[in-house]
Structure 1
Amino acid sequence: MHVSERLLQLYADVDASTRTKLQTLIKQNLGDGKSLTVSFEELTGATKASLPTDEKSAADFTAWIKGGKKDATFLPYYVSLLEKHDRVLNKEATVPQPIKVDKTVVNETTADAASEKTPQSAAQTQKPRYVPETSVPSRAERAKRIEPARPRKKKGKWLGGLLLVAVLLGGGYIGYPYVAALFEPSETTEVEAPAPEPEPVVEAPETNYVWLATKNVNLVSEPNGTTVTYIGDIGDRYEIVNEQDDHVEVDLDGTTAWVALDAVTTDWPSRDLTDSTLLDWAETNLDNAWLGEALPDFFAMNEAALTETIGAPYGRETDALNAYAFYNGGFFVIQDDQVHAIDWTNTQLAREAFDALGEPVIETSDALVYESETYSLRLFIGTNGQTRVRLTEK
C-alpha cells in the first residue's frame, strides 16, 4: 500500500487525541535538529533502515503539519510512527529541550455584430427635358407666314406625289422601331443589393485535460521535484496549464502542480453505464449504515449541512486541494466547501464484486474505475488485502 494511502487509513483508525499526543512527543524528540532515523529509533526502540536520514527539527515538523504535509521527506517517518503509536506513547521519549506545542489550525477551503451594410440605392438620373433655343410661334403667327402655293404643272404634281410616298415609306421603315418602342413598357434596371457579410464565428478555445492513469500519483511543485503539493488518485481529471519535457503542469483550483507524463493519459474512454445502475450497485454492495441518507443527497451538501445531517466527524484533515471528514465506516472528501466524494474504508470487496457493472473505464493491477454520466466509482486495492471504494460526483 502506498504510504499516502496508509496515512489516510491511519487517520481513519487513530483518533485525533492520540495523534496530537504523538505529534507532541515527535516535536520534543526532534528539538533543534536530529536525523529522522535516529529519532525513530529513540521513540520506538526499533530501527528502520528505509527511513530518510535527513536532519529535521521540531520547527520543521510543525511547519510540515501546518502546511498540509507536502514534504515527502517527513511522510514515511510520520506514517511509521503512527503505525507504532501505542509503543511510542507507552515509552518515555528523549527530550533534548522543551518546546511549546503549536496547535494546528485547519483552514477550510472555501469556492462572449456584424454590421449590416445597407446598400445605398443608386440615384436615378432624370433625362433633362428639351428646351428649344427659340420660342415656338403660335398657330396664328405661322398662318400669316404661309405663302399661297404657286400653281405647278401636272408633271410636277405627279413627281411630288411619288416623292412624298417614297419619303413616307422610307421614314416609316426606319422609324417603326422607335415608334414601337414608345408603346412598350420601359424596363427598369434593378440593382441587386450585395449579400450581407456573414457574422464571424467565435470559437471557444479548446481546453485540454489529462486523467491520472495510476493509483496514488505525486503532484509536485516543479518538474522532477520532491515537494509534494497533492497526491492524486486514478481517474482524477485536471486541466493542462503548461507542458515541459516529460511533465505537464495542471490546475489545482487556484494553484498548480506538475505530474509526469507516464502517470497520465489524454485518452479517456466512456462506457454506457447509467447513474441509476451505478448507484444501485453502491446501495447494494456497500455498508451505508453510517450514512443514513440516500447517496446523491450528500453531493448537494456543504460541510455544515453534512455535520447537521450525520453529526460531527471524529477527525478532520486538509491538504492543498481538499478537506477530509472522518467517520466510523469511511470519510468524506470536501472540495470548495462542497461534498465531492464518499470513501468506504476496509470494505474487503474483491474485484469480482464489480463484474455486474461490466467493463471498467480503466483498470490496473490495484485499481478499477467505472463511470456513468454523473458519477465515478473507484476501487483501490491495498497490498495487505484491504480495499477502499470511492464514489465521486464528476
Structure 2
Amino acid sequence: MKEEIRVSRAASRKRKRFWQSVTVVLLIASLVGVIAFAALMDSKKSALPETDDIATESVNSDTESTDETEDEAEADEKDGTYVYIMAPYTKVFADDRVTVIYEADLGDRFEQLEAVSGFVKLQLNEQTTGWVTEEQVTGEATSVSDEDLAEAWKAVVPSADPTTLEWLGQDIASVRATLGAPKAVQRDQVNEYHFYDGFFLMVRDQQVKAIDWDRQVVATPDMTATSGQNAGSWYEGETRQLKLFPYDGVMRVRVEQK
C-alpha cells in the first residue's frame, strides 16, 4: 500500500513539472510574439510621414495655389483687351444694338469684353456697357512720351496753368475741395461734366478722367497725330491723351487720363 502511494506521488510530481514546463514555454512564445508584433507595427509607423508634416504640406499647397490664382487674376486684369474709338461722335448702342446710349470721342479707350456678329461690347464705366461696330475700333495706337504730349498741350493752350494736369486721376471730391463748387454739372450715361470758368472736368466713376478747354484758337502741335481727321486729332501718350476738336473757327482741347 505504501509503495502504491509513493508511485502515485511521483507520478503527480512528474505531471506537475510537465505542466510547469509547458506554461513556461507558452509564456516565452507569447512574449516573443508580442515583441515581434510590436516591431512590425513600429516599422509600419516609421514608413508613414508624421501627421504634422501632412498638415503642413496641405496648408502650404493651398497657400501656393491661392497665390497662383491671385497672380493669374492680376495678370488677366493687366492683360485685358483695350480698344480705341476711331472717329468722333461714334454711336454706342445698348444691348439691343439699336438704342443709342452714348457718343464716344475719337481716341476714347475702353476695355473690350467680347465680340459678337460684327459688334464689340465695351466697358464704358464701372456700371455701364455698350456696343459699337468692329470697324469703329482699333487695338493699335502709335504713341509719344507724356513729356512731349505736355509740350504739345502747352503749345495749343498756352494760357492754361500746367498744374491743372495734376487733377487728372484724382477723386472729384478732393478736386472740388480745391476749386469749389462748379457753375454747372451735366450728366450722360457714362460721365459727369463739371463746368468752371475757362474749362470743364469730365468725371467718370468719381474720378477726373479728362479736362477740356473750349473755344481755343485753332492750332496744330509740332507732332505727328496718332489719328488726324477733319473732325478731330488724337495724340496718344504713355498715360495720357491729347485731343483737338475744331468747330466754327475755334477748337475744344482735351487732355485725358488713360
Aligned counterpart, 1:324? 193
**After TM superposition, where is structure 1 displaced by more than 4 Å over at least 4 residues in a row?**
199-206
Is 1:371 aligned with 2:236?
A: yes
Which structure has the bigger radius of gyration?
A: 1
Aligned partner of 1:21 in structure 2 is none
Is the 1:223–1:247 Cα contact (8 Å) retained in structure 2? no
The aligned counterpart of 1:312 is 181
Q: TM-score scaled by structure 2?
A: 0.64
- The structure 2 residue matched to 1:215, chosen from 81, 84, 88, is 88
Aligned positions of 1:113-192 closer than 5 A: none
2:165 aligns to what? 296
- What code does the residue aligned with 2:257 have? E
Q: Which amino acid aligns with 2:232?
A: A
Structure 1 residues 126-183: Cα deviation after superposition (integer angstroms, max 9, x where no partner): xxxxxxxxxxxxxxxxxxxxxxxxxxxxxxxxxxxxxxxxxxxxxxxxxxxxxxxxxx
- In 2, Cα distance between equivalents of 1:388 and 1:254: 28
C-alpha separation in 1, matches of 2:225 and 2:162: 27
Q: Following the alignment from structure 2 to structure 1, what is the Cα–Cα distance between the partners of residues 146 and 82?
A: 23
**1:246 paired to 2:111:** no
Which of 145, 152, 165 lines up with 1:274 in the alignment? 145
Higher strand fraction (1 or 2): 2
Change (3 A) 1:207 1:275: closer
2:130 paired residue number: 257
Matched letter for residue 326 of structure 1: F
Consecutive unaligned residues of structure 2, counting only runs of 5 or more, are: 1-63
* Deviations 1:253-282 (CA, angstroms, capped at 9, x unpaired): 22211111221122x1323x2222221332
Are the aligned partners of 1:223 and 1:259 in contact in 2 as well (CA < 8 Å)?
no
Matching of residue 283 in structure 1 with residue 154 in structure 2:
yes
Counterpart residue type for residue 360 of structure 1: A
Structure 1, unpaired ranges of 5+ = 1-198
Kept in 2, the 8 Å contact 1:302–1:337? The answer is: yes
- Quick check: 1:392 aligned with 2:250? no
Tell me: CA distance 1:216–1:329, structure 2 relative to 1, closer, same or farther (3 Å). Answer: same
Q: After TM superposition, give the deviation of residue 218 of structure 1 in Å.
A: 1.3
1:385/1:262 Cα in 2 relative to 1: closer, same or farther (>3 Å)?
farther
Paired residue secondary structure (1:347): strand
Distance 2:158 2:198 in 1: 8
Kept in 1: contact 2:120–2:134 (CA 8 A)? yes
> Which protein has the bigger helix share?
2
1:361 maps to which of 226, 231, 237:
226
Q: Are the structure 2 counterparts of residues 381 and 293 from structure 1 closer, same or farther at C-alpha, using a change threshold of 3 Å?
A: closer
Report the aligned-residue RMSD: 2.5
Question: Do 2:141 and 2:236's aligned partners in 1 also have CA atoms closer than 8 Å?
Answer: no
Give % identity: 30
TM alignment of 1:10-49, pairs within 5 A: none
Do the aligned partners of residues 288 and 307 (structure 1) sit closer, same or farther apart at CA in structure 2, a change above 3 Å counting?
farther
Against the structure 1 CA distance between its residues 223 and 302, is the aligned structure 2 distance closer, same or farther, given a 3 Å change threshold?
same
How far off is 1:303 after superposition? Answer: 1.9
- Which of the numbers 246, 251, 255 marks the counterpart of 1:381? 246
C-alpha separation in 1, matches of 2:106 and 2:181: 29
Output the CA distance in 1 between the equivalents of 2:84 and 2:162: 31
1:93-132 equivalent positions in 2, closer than 5 A: none
Hey, what does 1:231 align to over in structure 2?
A: 103
Q: How many Å separate the matches in 1 of 2:152 and 2:112?
A: 33
